């Protein structure tokens, strides 16, 4: 059975949601990112890069990098959450996944904290907002006439974007001037699979040290 290593509310929320949407059996293991342990074992032995998500596949191979795990899960299921390889839609999906990973995910992370952690001071939050707002605005424009990122249908891109809209809330940023992203966030929260996963993960750790 596949096993997802996650921390509540972290980027691992994206593959967790996709696993639940896909409906294949899977297990989860909660990682303590403060001391890099899981179930009393050293997490660095699972993922030497020392961050979540990591997915142990059916063949016991561990794969990392959120966008890659999302693609792996979509390809290895009967879902229609990913387009056929080398179609225009496939490349559109790759472009958004890469955009979210490089332009949003890492820009949400504060340069002032050790490791890949969310900002936790007013100054670092302001800096993060300055960086992410124009990139979020670009997505908001794309969502003008649709509820989901690709052809107005749920795809592997949406859970990753939902991590970002969830972080907007977590960092107390506002959806002012981002009305379409706000609607996207609400659409995602209405999905039963998303509700089950948010409940299962529970509250994320506090942003204070
Ligand atoms: N490049 C990685 C980044 C993953 C990442 O930043 N994970 C964060 C949570 S969102 C983490 O585990 N941070 C803890 C740490 O680095 O100490 C990916 O795309 O999956």
Q: Determine, yes or no, domain membership for 63.
A: yes
Distance 64 CA to ligand 1 centre (A): 10
> Are 52 and 34 members of one domain?
yes
Question: Domain with 138 in it: what CATH number?
Answer: 1.20.1050.10
- In which domain, by residue range, is 60 found? 2-79+194-201
Instruction: Work out the percent of the chain whose per-residue pLDDT is above 70.
Output: 96
> Are 65 and 101 members of one domain?
no
Instruction: Provide the CB-side half-sphere exposure for 117 (13 A, CA).
Output: 17
Q: Determine, yes or no, domain membership for 176.
A: yes
Question: Domain with 22 in it: what CATH number?
Answer: 3.40.30.10
Minimum CA distance residue for ligand 1 atom 1: 65
* C-alpha of 99 from chain center: 12
> Are 104 and 182 members of one domain?
yes
> Are 56 and 108 members of one domain?
no
Residue 81: its pLDDT value, please? Answer: 98
Asked if residues 103 and 109 have their Cβ atoms less than 8 Å apart, the reply is no
Total domains in the chain come to: 2
> Are 180 and 98 members of one domain?
yes
Q: Determine, yes or no, domain membership for 60.
A: yes
Q: What is the mean pLDDT of residues 137-160?
A: 98
Q: What is the mean pLDDT of residues 15-27?
A: 97
DSSP state of 206: P
Minimum CA distance residue for ligand 1 atom 20: 65
Does residue 11 carry a pLDDT above 80?
yes
> Are 61 and 105 members of one domain?
no
Distance 164 CA to ligand 1 centre (A): 13
> Are 95 and 67 members of one domain?
no
Residue 66: its pLDDT value, please? Answer: 98
Minimum CA distance residue for ligand 1 atom 12: 51
Distance 49 CA to ligand 1 centre (A): 9
Q: Which of 11, 46, 97 to mutate to test the pocket of ligand 1 (most atoms within 8 A of CB)?
A: 11
Q: Which of 116, 157, 209 to mutate to test the pocket of ligand 1 (most atoms within 8 A of CB)?
A: 116
> Are 106 and 128 members of one domain?
yes
Residue 4: its pLDDT value, please? Answer: 98
Distance 104 CA to ligand 1 centre (A): 13
> Are 102 and 36 members of one domain?
no
Q: What is the mean pLDDT of residues 43-67?
A: 96
Structure tokens at 5: 């290593």
| Ligand 1, CB cutoff 6 Å, lining residues | 10-11, 33, 50-53, 65-66, 101, 105, 115-116
Written as one string, the DSSP assignment of 101-160 is IIIIIGGGB-TTSSSS-B--SHHHHHHHHHHHHHHHHHHHHHTTT-SSTBTTB--THHHH
């Amino acid at each position: 059975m596949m096993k997802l290593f996650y921390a509540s509310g972290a980027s691992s929320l994206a593959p967790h949601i996709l696993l639940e949407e896909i409906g294949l059996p899977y297990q989860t293991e909660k990682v303590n990112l403060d001391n890099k342990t899981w179930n009393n074992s050293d997490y660095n032995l699972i993922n030497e890069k020392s961050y979540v998500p990591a997915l142990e596949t059916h063949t016991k191979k561990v794969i990392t990098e959120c966008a890659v795990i999302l693609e792996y899960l979509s390809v290895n299921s009967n879902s229609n959450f990913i387009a056929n390889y080398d179609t225009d839609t496939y490349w559109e999906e790759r472009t958004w996944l890469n955009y979210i990973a490089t332009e949003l995910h890492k820009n949400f992370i504060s340069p002032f904290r050790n490791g890949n952690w969310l900002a936790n001071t007013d100054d670092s939050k302001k800096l993060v907002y300055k960086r992410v707002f124009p990139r979020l605005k670009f997505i908001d424009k794309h969502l003008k006439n649709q509820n989901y990122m690709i052809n107005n249908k749920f795809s592997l891109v949406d859970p990753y974007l939902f991590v970002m809209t969830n972080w907007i809330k977590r960092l107390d940023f506002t959806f002012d001037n981002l009305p379409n992203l706000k609607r996207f966030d609400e659409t995602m929260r209405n999905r039963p699979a998303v509700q089950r996963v948010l409940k299962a993960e529970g509250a994320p750790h506090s942003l204070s040290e």
